[in-house]
């Protein structure tokens, strides 16, 4: 019972953070769901719930999205999705845990040492989209690379959030479809998704209300804290079970 409450609380917090910042759900809730389900179907659950958050939020903020960046992300992700799906279909759950942990560790380093340089802005290109597509297909995590690309391009919080959430509306249905075709769709996946919908919606609407009043710096710190904890959990459990 305590575990279930904890899982729903993490999902709610993750949805809240994603509603506020544009990213966070797959990074925080995804690995926790993976630890709980212990197989690749957890990524399908993450994909559906992430799409749910995006479809609630994106129509209201699409006008703020950076259209050129959105197109670059979409084209690149279309090219990267198939390699990502192949990894998802051929790599075991423990290896995926390790991969997710390494990705999250790299993101932690990026948050810590990769601060945006205003004097060296770089436009979002298809290469960023390709990496997002690979990570989306393999781990249901297309957002982190997109967020880093938009930060390097100098996009502010409003533009970055709108672009990423709009990109999610485009990418997550294909991620879910590809993963389902590659690995099948089980009753456990459907049940787990349905169970987490209320917490996801609660966090999403709370985050939409709070976003105009939130200090972004505090939430970056909160995301970093969760990333560090979850990254180490995934790496430890993944390596322990593989070895």
- The pTM of this model reads 0.85
Neighbour-count burial of 233, counting CB atoms closer than 10 A to its CB (0-12 exposed, 13-18 middle, 19+ buried):
middle
pLDDT at 78 over 60: yes
pLDDT at 118 over 60: no
Say how far apart CA 211 and CA 202 lie, in whole Å: 14
pLDDT average, residue stretch 232-236: 80
pLDDT average, residue stretch 47-58: 96
Say how far apart CA 234 and CA 127 lie, in whole Å: 27
The domain limits of the chain are: 2-242
Q: Point out the least confidently predicted range of 3-12, 98-107, 114-123.
A: 114-123
Model confidence pLDDT, tens digit, residues 154-176:
788 888 899 999 999 999 999 99
């Amino acid at each position: 019972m305590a575990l279930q409450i904890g899982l729903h609380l993490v999902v709610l917090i993750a949805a809240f953070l994603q509603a506020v910042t544009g990213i966070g759900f797959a990074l925080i809730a995804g690995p926790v769901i993976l630890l709980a389900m212990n197989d690749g179907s957890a990524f399908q659950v993450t994909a559906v719930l992430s799409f749910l958050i995006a479809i609630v939020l994106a129509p209201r903020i699409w006008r703020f999205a950076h259209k050129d960046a959105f197109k670059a992300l979409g084209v690149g992700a279309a090219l990267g999705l198939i390699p990502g799906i192949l990894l998802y279909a051929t790599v075991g759950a423990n290896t995926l845990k390790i991969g997710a942990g390494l990705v999250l560790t790299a993101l932690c380093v990026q948050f810590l040492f990769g601060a945006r340089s205003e004097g060296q802005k770089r436009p979002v290109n298809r290469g960023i989209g390709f990496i997002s597509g690979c990570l989306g297909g393999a781990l249901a995590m297309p957002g982190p690379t997109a967020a880093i690309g938009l930060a390097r391009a100098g996009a502010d919080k409003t533009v970055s959030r709108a672009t990423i959430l709009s990109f999610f509306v485009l990418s997550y249905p294909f991620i879910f479809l590809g993963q389902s075709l590659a690995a099948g769709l089980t009753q456990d996946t459907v049940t787990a998704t349905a169970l987490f919908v209320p917490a996801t919606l609660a966090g999403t609407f709370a985050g939409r209300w709070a976003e105009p009043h939130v200090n972004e710096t505090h939430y970056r710190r909160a995301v970093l804290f969760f990333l560090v904890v979850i990254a180490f959990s995934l790496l430890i459990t993944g390596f322990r079970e593989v070895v």
